[in-house]
Structure 1
Amino acid sequence: MYSRFFILFAMVSIGYYCYKKGFITKEVNKGLGSMVMQVTIPAMLVTTIAAIDITHEILLGFFLMMAAQAAAMILFGLFIRLYGKWRHMDSRLMDMLDITAGSLNNGFIGLPVAMIFFGDTGVMYMSAGVLGLNLYLWSYGVYILKGRQGGSAKEMGQTFLKGAVNPNCIAIFLGLALTLSHTVSYVPEPIMAFLEELGGLSTPLSLIYIGALAGSSGILQVFREKAAVEISLVKMILMPFLAWLVMLVVPAGSMAKSVFLVTAALPAAVVVPMMVEKYGYGEKMSSDIVILTTIISVVELPACVWLTGILY
C-alpha cells in the first residue's frame, strides 16, 4: 500500500519538477492533457473493461455507480449554491460554483488512482463515474450555465451530443460490448497488445500532468484567493464525509463503497473552467478551485484510500 502512495506522490512531483525546470511548458502540458484524455485513457478503458469477466452484479453495480455519482454531483452542487448564498457571495457566481464544486475529476485523477489502488474492477467502477460526469456536465451543467440564459432545446441537444459523445464514453461502451458479447478473443492480439501498452501510459502521464498543472498555477498566489480557498475546503472535506454517511446505509459491496468514497474526494473537473468561460461567468475563480482542489487531493486521496482499507 505504501509503495503505491509513493508512486502517486513521485509521479506528481516529477511533473512539478519538470515544469519548474522548463522541460514542460504550459502549451506542452495542455497538449499532454489532451493526449491523455483523447488517446491513452480511452485505450486503457477498452482493454481494462474488455478483460473483466463481468457478472450481473458487476454490471448492475456499474450503472448504479454511474447514477449515484451523477446524483451526488447534482446534490452537492446545489448545496454549494446554498452555501454561497448564505455566505453572501456574488450572485453571478452561483451557477459557476454549482457546477465547479459539484464536478469530480474521474478522468485525469480518478482512473489512475483506481488503477493504482483498486485494480481492474476499480477502474470499471470509476469508468462509470466518467460516464456520470459526462452526462452531468453536458446536460445539467450546460443547462445551468447556458440554458437558463435562453438557449434553445436544439442548441442544448447539439451541445450535449458534442460533449457527451467523446473518446472516453465510446471506449467504455466498446469495452462493455467486447466483454459482454465475448468477442474480445476475436480482436487480433497485436491490436490488443498495442492498446494495452498505450493505455499503460495513462497513469504516469496523468499524474505528471497534474504535477505540471500545480507547478504552473503559482501556488502561493492561488492560496491568497480566499473565496476559492473556502469553497475548495468545503468541497474536499464535506463531500467525502457525506459520501461516507451515505455508504453507511447503502447495501453495496466493499469495492463499490471504496470507489464511491474515493471518488467523492476527487478534485473539481479540469474541463469545467473552459465550460464556464464559454457559457457562464466566473472562469478565474472556477480555475482557482480546480487547482486548489487538485493540490488538496494529492494528500487527501491517499488518506481516503487508507480509510477504505479500514472501513470496508
Structure 2
Amino acid sequence: MSSTFTVLVNQVLSMFLMLAVGYIAYRTKLITEGSVGDLSRTVMYIASPCLMMASFIQPFDGTHLMNAGLCAVLSVAVLAICALVAHVAYGKKDPISQFGVIFSNTGFVGIPLVQHALGQSYVFYVTVCIAVLTFLIWTYGVYLVTGNTKEISLKKVFTNPAVVTLFIGFAFFLFSVPVPDFISGSLDTLGEVNTGLAMVVLGCYLAQTRLSLIVRDLRAYKVSVLRLIVAPVLTLLLLWLVPSALVPSDIKMVVLITFSTPIGAMVAMLSQKYGANYEYGAGIVSLSTLLSLVSIPIILGIGAAIL
C-alpha cells in the first residue's frame, strides 16, 4: 500500500507542477488565450486518442474483454450514484453544480493518473469508462445545462474522439490487427505528450478564472466536496462490496481513479455554449482541480489499502 500511495502522491505533485507551468505561462502571456484553445484541441484530438489507441494494439485476450465490460457496468453504476447524490443535494436547482457532481475530468486527469500509477496497459480500460461518461455528458449532461431534451445530440456522442477511438481500437483488439512498428511507435510518442499538455491547459484555465470570487462562493466548496469526497467515498464503498473474485482489484482501482478526479472541464464548455453561468462553471473546475491535489492521494491511498 505504501509504495502505491507514494506513486500516487508523486504523480499528483508532478501534475501540480505541470499545472503551475501552464498557469505561469498564461499569466506571462507566453501562452495566449487563442493558444489555449489550440492546445486543448491538440490534447483532445491528437495526444489523448493516440494514447488510447496505443493501449488497444495488443493481441486479443478474453480476460481483457471481460474486464472492459466490467468497467462499463461499474461506470454506469457509479454515475447513477453520482446523479442520485446531485439530485439529493440540489433537487431541481443549480444544474451547473449538479453537472459538476456527476461528471469528472477523466480525460485530462484520469488518464495520466492511471497511466503512471497502474501502467500504460490500463489506459485500455479508462477508454471504456470515458466512452460511458461521454455518452451521458452529451445526453443527460446537456439536458441538465439546457433543461431541453431537444438539445441532446447523439451525433456529438458518436463523433467524440474518445468514442471513435474506442470503436476503432476495439476492432483492432478484437481481430488482433497487426500494426507496423513505425505506426505503433508514432502513437506511443504522440501519446506521451498527453499528460504534460493536459496539465498545462488546465493551468491556463485556472489562470483565466477569477479565483478571488470563487474562493468566497460557498457553493463552489459544496460542489467540490461532493465531487471529490462524497462521490469517491460512495464509489469506494460500492467497489469494496463487489467481491474481488468477480472484479479484480486493479480494475477496481481504474474505476476509482476515474471517478475520483475533479470536476470535468465540459461543465465550463457547455455553460459557455448554451449561455449558462460560464464563469461559475470554469470556477468550480479550477477550485476542484486545486483541492483534488489533496483529496486524490487520500482517496486512492485508502482504495489501494482495502480493494
1:75 to 77, 81, 84: 81
The 3 A distance-change label for structure 1 pair 84 and 3 is closer
Deviations 1:72-112 (A, max 9, x none): 22331232222124xxxxx552x333323200111111111
Does the alignment pair 1:255 with 2:245?
Answer: no
AA in 1 matched with 2:166: I
2:156 to 155, 162, 168: 162
| Unaligned residue ranges in structure 2 (runs of 5+) | 1-6
2:15 to 8, 12, 19: 8
Query: What is the root-mean-square deviation of aligned Cα atoms in Å?
Result: 2.3
Q: How does 1:34-113 map to 2 (within 5 A)?
A: 34-51=41-58, 53-85=59-91, 92-93=93-94, 95-113=95-113
Distance 1:237 1:176 in 2: 33
2:175 to 174, 181, 196: 181
Displacement of 1:42 in angstroms is 0.5
Distance 2:181 2:194 in 1: 21
The 3 A distance-change label for structure 1 pair 72 and 219 is same
Regions of 4+ moved over 4 Å: none
Distance 1:235 1:30 in 2: 26
The 3 A distance-change label for structure 1 pair 36 and 10 is same
Does the alignment pair 1:210 with 2:202?
Answer: yes
Distance 1:67 1:279 in 2: 30
Deviations 1:28-85 (A, max 9, x none): 222211110111111111112213x453232122122123223322331232222124
Distance 2:197 2:204 in 1: 10
- Secondary structure class of the residue paired with 1:139: helix
The 3 A distance-change label for structure 1 pair 79 and 303 is closer
The 3 A distance-change label for structure 1 pair 4 and 103 is closer
Report the counterpart of residue 129 of structure 1 in structure 2.
Answer: 129
AA in 2 matched with 1:258: M
CA contact under 8 A between 2:126 and 2:254: conserved in structure 1? yes
Distance 1:247 1:3 in 2: 24
Aligned length: 297
CA contact under 8 A between 1:106 and 1:127: conserved in structure 2? no
CA contact under 8 A between 1:29 and 1:209: conserved in structure 2? yes
Displacement of 1:238 in angstroms is 0.3
Distance 1:109 1:228 in 2: 20
Distance 1:18 1:305 in 2: 30
Displacement of 1:245 in angstroms is 0.8
Distance 1:20 1:71 in 2: 40
The 3 A distance-change label for structure 1 pair 297 and 5 is closer
CA contact under 8 A between 1:145 and 1:280: conserved in structure 2? no
Deviations 1:104-154 (A, max 9, x none): 1111111111111111232122111110111111222234444x5362xxx
Does the alignment pair 1:116 with 2:100?
Answer: no
| Unaligned residue ranges in structure 1 (runs of 5+) | 86-90
Report the counterpart of residue 88 of structure 1 in structure 2.
Answer: none
Report the counterpart of residue 36 of structure 2 in structure 1.
Answer: 29
Distance 1:198 1:239 in 2: 33
Deviations 1:271-312 (A, max 9, x none): 122223444744333222222211212232233333333223
Displacement of 1:3 in angstroms is 4.6
CA contact under 8 A between 1:273 and 1:287: conserved in structure 2? yes
AA in 1 matched with 2:223: I
Displacement of 1:247 in angstroms is 1.2
Report the counterpart of residue 276 of structure 1 in structure 2.
Answer: 271
CA contact under 8 A between 1:42 and 1:167: conserved in structure 2? yes
Deviations 1:142-167 (A, max 9, x none): 34444x5362xxx64xx121243222
AA in 2 matched with 1:230: K
- Secondary structure class of the residue paired with 1:8: helix
AA in 2 matched with 1:101: V
Does the alignment pair 1:201 with 2:193?
Answer: yes
